[in-house]
Structure 1
Amino acid sequence: MAEVYPWQAELWRQLAGRTRHAHAYLLLGPAGIGKRDLAESLRALLLCQQPAGLEACGQCKGCHLLAAGSHPDSFELKPSGDKKSVGVDDVRELIGFVNKTAQLSGRKVVLIAEPPAEDMTLAASNALLKSLEEPSGDTVLLLLSHQPSRLLPTIKSRCVQQACPLPDPATSLAWLAQALPECGEVECRELLSLAGGSPLTARSLQQQGVREQRALVVDGVKKLLKQQIAASQLAEAWKNLPMSMLFDWFCDWAQSMLRYQLTRDEQGLGLEDMRKVVQYLADKAPQARVLETQDWLLQQRQKVLGKANLNSVLLLEALLVRWASLPGPG
């Protein structure tokens, strides 16, 4: 059974307490705040044959089949084969499911979660519109989106849009302390900062060894600025690190530099491991050069997020050459 997290309690009461449900919900919010678990809990409740208040009973035939991944009235839209995005053929399979008659409780549920709805191809998004507008029978579609700005307006307009809350820092830290008992408060705060405040992402980052990866990257940046290592060598050493993570960090450091240049507020210099470096670069780099670097970083980050076919080593080398050239006269 999926978990409903403490920061979702009020939202869950609103969703689960409905006497009539919309034909499509669009759950919006940043990754790592529990939208998938919320959607799975709602799916379980909708397919349960003997719900106990606001919870699925966990004992009926429907609950057992759902737990086993074989419920005939549940469908999850995923890319076929080794594809990264949902395509038209995948949506056609969904349409076939929607057009069938429910076999157990009279209701069917579709989950579009991983990848999130915005990662569908344009053709797949257009193919989905008919099912969103006029789903067959008592069908409920549950769509998740981390970046709703990337969704077609026509998809958003056909769903009940539900913003999902990002927990406040105190709630996140309390939950993270229980989820990661091996980490102290300082480590939990660092993880939460690296995760943009999303507690589930913070837990995942710890499991992926992100703090060790971060230490490796920070050490490399310092050596690069001291001319103790070449950009090409460092790019080769980093080629197996997650590219999106690296660009997130460099974008954040560039933004912190600009903020410090404008405000001289040392509280905005970010995590302790890079504060002195960011402050040094902010003092030494012309603001126009920092702005130009930030624009370049954002453009390349968009390509990375869009899964463009990139040569990671060459891209990292270009990034590091730019970074090494930040300090100096304008």
Structure 2
Amino acid sequence: MADGILPWQVDLWQLLAGRQQHAHAYLLHGPAGIGKRALAEQLMALLLCQRPAALSACGTCKGCLLLAAHTHPDHYILEPEEADKAIKVDQVRHLVGFVTQTAQLGGRKVVLLEPAEAMNLNAANALLKSLEEPAGDTVLLLISHQPSRLLPTIKSRCVQQSCPLPGRQQSLDWLAVQLPDVSPAQREELLALSANSPLAALKLQGAGVLDMRVQVVDGVKKLLKRQQSPSQLAEAWSSHSLILLFDWFCEWAHLILRFQMTGDEEGLGAADMQKVIQYLAEKSSPDRLLVLQDWLLAHRQKVLGKANLNRVLLLEALLVQWASLPGPS
């Protein structure tokens, strides 16, 4: 068994690694932060190994040593040139050139592409022929966090493999090993903020998201008390992750609407915003909330689509609407 396989991936790894003949393209999909990239890298190592044994790359052959040094001539990793940007058609054309070449070590060529949904339309179309008829013994490993955003023609040319989600306790146990100096309560909070994706939780901790969350929640409370203006907060938050902010505000709008309909105090979300959720549920009209929710979802989609947005103006528009929630319709 490969050392890098996560506990919740064992069964899937045995299925993938145990195949006698591999598909020319796999689409590994599932929520962000559950270890799809780690799984794909282990599979790449196995496929390029010259002496694989016991469902694992040997780690000592020429192929394994070159891959470990990031100099293997028959592996190719395609990602956005900048974080959170699109994969462009020129990048895919370069990849297609690699796919058409003969493997330099005489074995397989392996491509890892992440995230597949970052390809713009022209880039996705440029990849189709290579997905359908890759040259030689080539295996393409596509990773997707949001497969619904992929072209049907991309998905239909791949073996689609859903990647397993860990159980909550399994995630907490894994995080306890990774973050021994973080308190159990903070590990639980990180897991909640990451939608129960443990690798995403680990990344959030490294990015200081717990401190960001404290700042954002404090800002929301001051906004509602008229102690800070939307423009002040928008400037203060301009360096924060837009998608994370929109995820939080979308969740809060949903929780407010849910509480208005059910009155269920068990469904108020994380403790830091429960009183705010209750207050806004009592003081806001459902109609105004639904308008805000539609706006949030539409603009979250623009953020996900890498639209060229003015961050400060976008956040100010969000906060102006949020501040106006309490009051008459």
2:112 matches 1:111: yes
Deviation at 1:2, TM superposition (A): 7.3
Residue 38 (structure 2) aligns with: 37
Greater Cα shift, 229-238 or 129-138: 229-238
- Whole-angstrom distance in 1 between the partners of 2:87 and 2:311: 25
> Stretches of 4+ moved more than 4 A in 1?
79-83
Structure 2, unaligned stretches of length 5 or more? none
1:237 and 2:236 correspond: yes
How far does residue 84 in structure 1 lie from its aligned partner after superposition? 2.9
Q: CA deviation at 1:324?
A: 0.9
Q: Secondary structure at the match of 1:31?
A: coil
Q: What's 1:289 paired with?
A: 288
Question: What is aligned with 1:323?
Answer: 322
Asked whether the 8 Å contact 1:2–1:40 carries over to 2, the reply is no
Kindly tell me: are residues 318 and 79 of structure 1, through their superposed partners in 2, closer, same or farther at Cα, counting changes over 3 Å? closer
**1:105 Cα deviation after fit:** 4.6
Note if contact 2:80-2:118 (Cα within 8 Å) is conserved in structure 1.
no
Tell me if 1:228 matches 2:231.
no
Per-residue displacement from partner, 1:113-160 (whole Å, max 9, x unpaired)? 2xx011111111111110111111111100000111110100100000
Structure 1 segment 84-233 matched on structure 2, within 5 A: 84-113=85-114, 116-233=115-232
- Assess if the C-alpha contact under 8 Å between 2:86 and 2:306 holds in 1: no
Specify the alignment match of 2:7 in structure 1: 6
Structure 1 residues 93-117: Cα deviation after superposition (integer angstroms, max 9, x where no partner)? 212211111122521111102xx01
Residue 255 of structure 1 aligns to a residue whose secondary structure is: helix
Residue type at the aligned position of 2:4: E
Partner of 2:23: 22
Shift of 1:82: 9.1
Q: Is the 8 A contact 1:2 1:37 kept in 2?
A: no
Shift of 1:182: 1.1
Paired with 1:83 and 1:195, the residues of 2 have a C-alpha distance of 18
Q: Distance in 1 between matches of 2:215 and 2:84?
A: 32
Take 2:120 and 2:14, find their aligned partners in 1: how far apart are those partners? Answer: 34
Shift of 1:16: 0.3
The two structures have a TM-score, normalised by structure 2, of 0.97
Determine the structure 2 residue equivalent to 1:67.
68
> Partners in 1 of 2:277 and 2:113 — Cα distance?
40
Displacement of 1:88 after TM fit? 2.0
Unaligned runs of 5+ in 1: none
Residue aligning to 2:297: 298
Q: Percent identity?
A: 66
**Alpha-carbon distance in structure 2 between the residues aligned to 1:6 and 1:83:** 29
Q: Which amino acid aligns with 2:45?
A: A
Please report how far the alpha carbon of residue 83 of structure 1 lies from its aligned counterpart in structure 2 after TM superposition.
9.7
Q: TM-score, with normalisation over the residues of structure 1? A: 0.96
- What root-mean-square deviation, in Å, do the aligned CA atoms of Structure 1 and Structure 2 show? 1.5
Q: Is the 8 A contact 2:260 2:282 kept in 1?
A: yes
- Counterpart of 1:271, as a letter, is A
The residue that corresponds to 2:78 in the other structure is 77
Write the letter of the residue equivalent to 2:60. Q
Q: Secondary structure at the match of 1:326?
A: coil
